[in-house]
Structure 1
Amino acid sequence: MAKKKTPAGEMSFLDHLEELRWLLVRSCIAICIGGCVAFTFSQFIFDEIIFAPTRGNFITYRFFCDLANKYDLDKSFCIDKLPFEIQSRSMDGQFSTDIWTAITAGFILAAPFMLWEIWKFISPALYDKEKKYAAAFIFSTSLLFFMGVVFGHYLITPLSLNFLGNYRISDVVKNDIDLDSYLSLIKTTAISCGLVFELPIIMYFLSKLGIISAKFLRNYRRYAYVIILIIAAVVTPPDVVSQMIVTIPIAILFETSIFIAARIDKQKAKKEKLEANV
């Protein structure tokens, strides 16, 4: 059945819902395909990626240990292994974990395709000159997302594991971490950081829509930095160098967002000035 359109040639509300439905369907199919690929390499994913931060020879621990030895800093990362064991306490625990981990990996692998689908969905609302940036949009958003996932897994996750694994309320309590709890931290950290790294792209569209401005971001800059520093202080050892390693990438993202918002504000002001002179 042909789609009904309004007299102006635009899609109706129901047509937009139909397009959104097919966007979700195609995205789910892409996630399933990515999940099947991930399931094929599940042993490598678990041994070399997911459980790698539990070992003392993990690249992040070695980096911070070398840094601590060189500059005489906190040596809490010079370890052989983290002081806890991971256990599965249900009969189907490892099987269901394998399935859901494959789905999560499928979501990460399918991210560029889903971003392309999102672009196709929102592109009718853009100007013709903006539609030309489809390739740049897909590349930049995908790159930022993957950078965020890597940042989360190779920096935030080991720092969090080291802090939480060594945290003690009493020597009476022994840490035997449930498999679901461990994987929840791994997956949540990776995907959350991937989404946080999309901040410049999100700010671009929010600025376009007039929801935020560079002035607004500058006014709340001090609060943003306080939050960033608190997060860095919680997950890192008590030394300035480690905290800065976590703080700097997030601060760069925030400053980039301000720069993007300022460019959008200038473009809007220039356009309004031209329209006023007509």
Structure 2
Amino acid sequence: MSDSPEKKDELAGTEQPFVAHLVELRDRLVKAVLAVAVIAIALGIYPGPAALYDLMAAPLVSHLPKGATMIATSVISPFMVPLKVLLMTAFMIALPVVLYQLWAFVAPGLYSHEKKLVLPLVVSSTILFFLGVAFCYFFVFGRVFAFIQSFAPASITASPDIEAYLSFVLSMFLAFGMAFEVPVVVVVLARMGIFSIDKLKEFRGYFVVLAFIIAAIVTPPDVVSQLALAIPMVFLYEMGIWAAQIFIRHTKAPESAEEVS
């Protein structure tokens, strides 16, 4: 029986490009981590972890009874909680750099019309997330804490735990940051052809109900925070429909053969 011809190695010649991609990915990750580390060191020097936590706690502290303070129920909480706030702040400030490194890694493999699709989505989703966090901190927190304290009996002195407060703040920031991504989700659904613009318009009434259900699940059980999350989501849904109509017109693939730019 004669020997069968050797099968051609389908991966032959691909080792170097694959390794080059891994090296580039490593370099991009290192740059992103360095950006977070540099900002964290700078924030650690000024204003410092304790000052950052005080800034984050300011909306609650301003609504505590006179003389009341926050407490730490764990031995290491006074050290660990401000450190977590420092790292969280550093990551959020460095987020544009992190997303740029991600974009620089994937952009060379995209067609020109795909770049027109991805880059605006990355930028707009980042801005909307920050707007959601800012809306939560500057508008929602003050009203929620005032509403909650108005129900506190006179015989009770509120002294919230700093670790529990950090957990609450992170969950609220995430809830509002993600809720403000509604326009991006609507644009992606329309651009990918999953739902047409007409279908999205017909879904308006259902989305209003869905927005209030989501708000009731992810926010504390008070009417203030639920309305503060649900109402912006409804407006952002309308904004998403409007943006999708413009976005689809400007990100269509060219009629001729696509060329990688």
Please give the TM-score of this superposition, normalised by the length of structure 2: 0.68
Paired residue for 1:60? none
CA distance in 2, matches of 1:259, 1:18: 41
Considering Cα pairs closer than 8 Å and 6+ residues apart, tell me whether 1 or 2 has the greater RCO: 2
Map 1:6-17; keep pairs closer than 5 Å.
Answer: none
Shift of 1:255: 1.4
CA distance in 2, matches of 1:196, 1:22: 32
Map 1:144-183; keep pairs closer than 5 Å.
Answer: 144-165=128-149, 175-183=158-166
CA distance in 2, matches of 1:186, 1:200: 24
Map 1:26-105; keep pairs closer than 5 Å.
Answer: 26-40=31-45, 41-42=47-48, 43-47=50-54, 49-56=55-62, 81=65, 85-105=69-89
What letter is aligned with 1:36? I
Distance 1:35 1:219, change over 3 A: farther
Shift of 1:54: 2.0
Distance 1:121 1:198, change over 3 A: farther
Distance 1:88 1:80, change over 3 A: closer
What letter is aligned with 2:166? L
8 Å Cα contact 1:148/1:193 also seen in 2: yes
Task: Determine what percentage of the aligned residue pairs are the same residue.
Answer: 25
SS of residue matched to 1:87: coil
8 Å Cα contact 2:200/2:241 also seen in 1: yes
**Match for residue 101 of structure 2 among 95, 107, 117:** 117
Distance 1:211 1:36, change over 3 A: farther
Distance 1:51 1:154, change over 3 A: same
8 Å Cα contact 1:27/1:114 also seen in 2: yes
Shift of 1:171: 8.4
SS of residue matched to 1:51: helix
CA distance in 2, matches of 1:22, 1:204: 32
**Match for residue 186 of structure 1 among 169, 174, 189:** 169
Larger radius of gyration: 2
CA distance in 1, matches of 2:164, 2:41: 24
Paired residue for 2:8? none
Paired residue for 2:91? 107
Listed one character per residue, the Cα deviations across residues 195-247 of structure 1 (whole Å, up to 9, x for unaligned) are: 43233334444544444543453343323212434538954459xxx94x655
Shift of 1:138: 6.1
Which consecutive unaligned segments of at least 5 residues does structure 1 have? 57-78
Please give the TM-score of this superposition, normalised by the length of structure 1: 0.65
Shift of 1:87: 0.9
Please say which of residues 214-223 and 114-123 is displaced more in the overlay. Answer: 214-223
Shift of 1:149: 1.7
CA distance in 2, matches of 1:222, 1:124: 41
8 Å Cα contact 1:83/1:175 also seen in 2: no
SS of residue matched to 2:160: strand
Please say which of residues 24-33 and 257-266 is displaced more in the overlay. Answer: 257-266
Distance 1:35 1:264, change over 3 A: same
Which consecutive unaligned segments of at least 5 residues does structure 2 have? 1-11, 257-261
CA distance in 2, matches of 1:5, 1:161: 62
Please say which of residues 79-88 and 94-103 is displaced more in the overlay. Answer: 79-88
SS of residue matched to 1:148: helix
